Amino acid sequence: MQDETRHDRASEAAEPGRRTFLKTSLGAGFALAVQPVSAATVTTPTDGLTAGEVKVPSLGVEIPAYRAMPASGGPFPVMLVIQEIFGVHEYIKDVCRRFAKLGYYAIAPDLFARQGDATKADIPTIRTQIVPKVPDAQVMSDLDATTAFAAASGAADVARLGITGFCWGGRIVWLYAAHTDRPKAGAAFYGILGGAASPPSELKPRNPVDVAGALKAPVLGLYAGKDDNIPMPIIDQMQAELKAAGSPSRIEVFPDVPHGFHADYRPTYREDAATEAWAKAQAWFKANGVG
């Protein structure tokens, strides 16, 4: 009954967006809001992979997603890849391909599909007209549906499910680890934890600091020491909440880097920190039975 109630609430939360907008396919290239992209941008080729757009049924509609996996073998461990505020653009697709090269079935659903197309909007529009209208309950249901889609494919081993996300998606990693015990581990790259940067609202009633004691899967937080949106006091609070709960989850702070240090297409990219954080995430997943 509890699961049915959660589904109903998510459906109700999604209804306004479903009546007014539904993005039916992913765009190509990088999001409009991040142009021009940096010369340091990483491009992972598709050779040896099966990669491209798929449709995920969720809450009565089909949302577009990007999927990448090895072209042969399987079933593969699964990685849910959660977008930044810029949507499922080329960087997120490339992250999926990077995981696929490591032997994963990686999939990134467009979690804004009912509220707008972040890949074609400017930053003010994304921040005021799209992101605030995306209900957390809808996101949780869409990720449940994406996991079910992967399981039905026959190519994915959802018993070895991981989740990772960046910025907006980093917050979602923490919330999803509290929502369900399906993931075996998560890695959250500089996701908002709470505080002034994310006051509670009807659509976003809880933040990671509120669910630190309710995590059902271990999460590794990978955070920046020079992040104006996520200051050290809120990171320290999250660490304290995790410790008080006896959680295996933890946060590592890279002291001299800014928010977005893994985003190789942006000026915030810091190659050394990005490489180290990526390696730590892979080790975390393997240690927790995902890889």
Residues designated as active site: 167, 227, 259
- CA–CA separation, 120 vs 236, rounded Å? 36
- Decide if 183 contacts 150 (C-beta within 8 A): no
| Residue 161, strand partner residues | 78
Residue with token string 């996701």? 191
Strands 219-226 vs 185-189: parallel, antiparallel or unpaired: parallel
- Decide if 207 contacts 170 (C-beta within 8 A): no
Q: Specify burial of residue 55 (Cβ count, 10 A radius: 0-12, 13-18, 19+).
A: middle
Widest CA span in the chain: 52
Q: b or e along 187-218 (b: 16 or more beta carbons within 10 Å of the residue's beta carbon)? A: bbbbbbbbbeebeeeeebeebbbbbbeebebb
**Strands, DSSP E only, in the chain?**
49-58, 61-70, 76-82, 105-109, 156-166, 185-189, 219-226, 250-258
- CA–CA separation, 13 vs 202, rounded Å? 10
Cα–Cα distances in Å, from 33 out to 37, 120, 132, 200?
10, 7, 17, 26
Cα–Cα distances in Å, from 114 out to 17, 130, 131, 205?
5, 9, 11, 20
- CA–CA separation, 108 vs 86, rounded Å? 13
